[in-house]
């Protein structure tokens, strides 16, 4: 089912996949259950995509596979496109991690008001992992579980060094725009990235967290996930030899199953 979220004049477009079976701790929404009008209650996971990506609604994407595993276990999944990505409004050149964080805040604030959801988990992939982690750190009283998939926290170090996906620029005199693999990235993106308190903010999240990474990820070093495990009080990092940055490879099934099992276990 399609969803839209409004944020500062932009429409963010997404979808929700509802559970196929009740969660083990499912109930009925308390206010209207007696009248028989309330939907079944269930946990929900908000899934965030990476840099230049989208919500990955195709039938064979890792996001769809994870969504299917969760809905089969009684967990709803909300996916959306960040501003300037996919079907959402906005200019990609105007995108940066802070306004993606604002996107995610709007989605979370909307979802938390819906009475059918009993608990909330976050999943973020790559740059979406940076956003999800920071969001969890800002809302530790609302978010109950966190999964980071190949989180791109190295984007800060890369910005300080003046590099992005193999493209170099002067980090002390950042140009207004940088062409990165056919995508025009605004210079403000890198200025903001240089100063982001990524781990410091995420470290405020004190509920169960899981970081999954390919041991030989060629885009984001696996050390990023290990550092998340050190930063958060209840975070485990798991590395897979057969998993690339896009979540493909011989260990894809194992990695996504671990993520789904973790969320199902820690959400009620």
Mean pLDDT of 18-30: 65
Check pLDDT > 60 for residue 171: yes
Residue 169 has pLDDT above 70, yes or no: yes
Mean pLDDT confidence for 112-137: 98
- For 195, the enclosing helix (H) or strand (E) is helix 187-195
Q: Are 259 and 66 in contact (CB under 8 A)?
A: yes
pLDDT tens for residues 185-229? Answer: 999 999 999 999 999 999 999 999 999 999 999 999 999 999 999
Task: Give the strands of the sheet with 117-125, arranged side by side.
Answer: 2-7, 10-17, 76-80, 42-48, 117-125, 145-149, 209-214, 235-240
Q: Poorest-confidence range of 36-40, 166-170, 173-177, 227-231? A: 36-40
Q: Where are the domains of the chain?
A: 2-266
pLDDT, averaged across the chain? 94
How many alpha carbons lie under 13 Å from residue 57 in its C-beta half-sphere? 15
* Nearest-angstrom CA–CA distance, 148 and 162: 25
> pTM of this prediction?
0.94
CATH 3.40.50.300 matches 2-266: no
53-66: buried (b, 16+ CB within 10 Å) or exposed (e) per residue?
A: bbbbbeeebbbbbb
What does the alpha-carbon distance between residue 157 and residue 256 come to, in Å, rounded to a whole number?
Answer: 27
pLDDT of 29 higher than 70: no
Of all residues in the chain, the percent with pLDDT exceeding 70 is 93
């Amino acid at each position: 089912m399609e969803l839209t979220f409004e944020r500062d004049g932009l429409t963010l477009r997404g979808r929700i996949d509802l559970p196929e079976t009740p969660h083990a701790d499912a109930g009925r929404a308390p206010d209207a259950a007696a009248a028989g009008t309330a939907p079944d209650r269930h946990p929900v996971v908000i899934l965030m995509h990476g840099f230049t990506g989208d919500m990955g609604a195709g039938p064979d994407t890792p996001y769809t596979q994870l969504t299917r595993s969760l809905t089969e276990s009684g967990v709803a999944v909300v996916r959306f496109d960040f501003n300037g990505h996919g079907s959402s409004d906005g200019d990609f050149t105007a995108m940066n991690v802070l306004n993606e964080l604002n996107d995610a805040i709007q989605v979370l604030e909307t979802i938390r008001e819906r009475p059918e959801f009993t608990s909330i988990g976050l999943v973020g992939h790559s740059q979406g992992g940076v956003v999800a982690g920071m969001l969890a750190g800002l809302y530790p009283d609302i978010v109950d579980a966190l999964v980071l998939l190949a989180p791109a926290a190295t984007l800060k170090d890369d910005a300080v060094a003046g590099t992005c996906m193999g493209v170099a620029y002067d980090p002390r005199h950042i140009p207004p725009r940088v062409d990165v693999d056919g995508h025009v990235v605004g210079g403000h993106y890198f200025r903001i990235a240089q100063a982001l308190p990524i781990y410091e903010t995420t470290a405020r999240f004190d509920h169960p967290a899981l970081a999954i990474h390919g041991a030989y990820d060629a885009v984001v070093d696996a050390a990023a996930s290990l550092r998340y495990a050190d930063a958060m009080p209840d975070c485990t990092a798991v590395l897979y030899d057969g998993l690339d940055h896009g979540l493909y490879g011989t260990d894809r099934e194992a990695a996504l199953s671990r993520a789904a099992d973790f969320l199902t276990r820690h959400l009620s």
